[in-house]
Amino acid sequence: MGMVDVTEKPVVRRQAEAVGRIHLAPETVRKIAEGEIKKGDPFLVTEVAAMNAAKQTHLLIPHCHQIPLDTVTVGFELIDDGVEVRCLVRAQARTGVEMEALVGVTIALNTLWDMVKYLEKDGQGQYPATSITDIRVIRKEKGGEND
């Protein structure tokens, strides 16, 4: 077993985009929109966390190859019950970057939770309404074609 040998595969442009959601209380969404989060701008911190995570995917998932990434782009959309996060990863590589996109979006969502957890806790310190859902790859391309 071990890592898949990609030596003979050509280096081509590859990209993948992943998306996920964090469901939050309406008051938390309002405070995000109005810039009232105690730890600072959650989107700025979350963007940096997602970029770092995507670049370190090979350290987190044992069979992933170390891929020099050309770009990691993170986007956010406030929705009625939370935030949708997207992570696009692009590289010139012998293997795909969908795991990097998934790790990026997952860490972005976890970081966002950390930034607002003080608002989400109930009286017992639990998170009854907070959840991370719908994490998935929505697009994967190889050499400009869908792979």
Count of residues for the chain? 147
Q: How far is Cα 5 from Cα 101, in angstroms, rounded to an integer?
A: 21
CA-to-CA separations, 42 to 36, 46, 89, 94, in angstroms, rounded: 10, 6, 21, 34
Point out the catalytic residue in the list 70, 114, 122, 134. 114
* Closest among 38, 53, 44 to 116, alpha carbons compared: 38
CA-to-CA separations, 24 to 3, 5, 34, 142, in angstroms, rounded: 39, 43, 15, 35
Q: Based on the residue annotation, tell me whether 114 is a catalytic residue of this protein.
A: yes
Structure tokens at 77: 């959309």
Please identify every residue annotated as catalytic.
114
